[in-house]
Chains A and B, each alone.
Chain A
């Protein structure tokens, strides 16, 4: 029930009103990656459940991971984890009261995008090439 007292409270600005900048993109991506990791946590729980209680379900999951859709899901999770981890370091650095200068914030935003793609690519390459062997 939305009473008038509740509905008159301020709402965060919605996503579509911002002019594009690297810092704004990183902020939105941080939340988006967080949501992907939320879903990923449920899949990891399912994977562990299968490993504990159902060899048949585990075989299904392991087979799915090797397929194209499985790869997209694993890659999405891995990149999201890399991004959220690295951008999280940025947030913790901000919590110390540093790193807010516009050029610094812009540079670290780009750095996080580039480094997270490289890290995710390495992890996925290592994971999937070991799997084929």
Chain B
């Protein structure tokens, strides 16, 4: 994170601000579909607005969470484990973003 403090600080706040309405949407929408069966859940997520908001929530959330976890690493880990954790943090973030985009794309366009 060396020399990236300012941009990380700004991105953390910017993503936080965008996540406020997205998180409220997520709480209301997803919790009301908690027990939905497969067909109903797919039909719900296939609607463009829901697909778009879900993708945004997870992607922006993943970016916010990567910054936050990097901060925890910087605060508490000073050993060689630090680089491993940081790499793992990137890997998990990218995996979540790629996986969710792929899944939402498939649900939206697979009919």
Contacts and interface: CB of A to CB of B under 8 A. Distances in A.
A128 B33 CA distance: 10
Contacts of B38: 51, 55, 58-59, 62
A112 interface: no
Contact size range, B: 35 or more
Contact of B76 (A6, A12, A66): A12
Main secondary structure, interface of B, reads: helix
B85 interface: no
Contact size range, A: 35 or more
A2 B78 contact: yes
Interface of A: 1-2, 6-7, 9, 11-12, 14, 31, 34-35, 37-38, 41-42, 44-45, 48-49, 51-53, 55, 58-59, 62, 65-66, 74, 78, 81-82, 85, 88-89, 91-92, 95, 123-124, 126-128, 130-132
Interface of B: 13, 16-17, 19-20, 23-24, 26-28, 31-32, 34-38, 41-42, 45, 54, 58, 61-62, 65, 68-69, 72, 75-76, 78-80, 92, 95-96, 99-100, 102-104, 106-107, 110
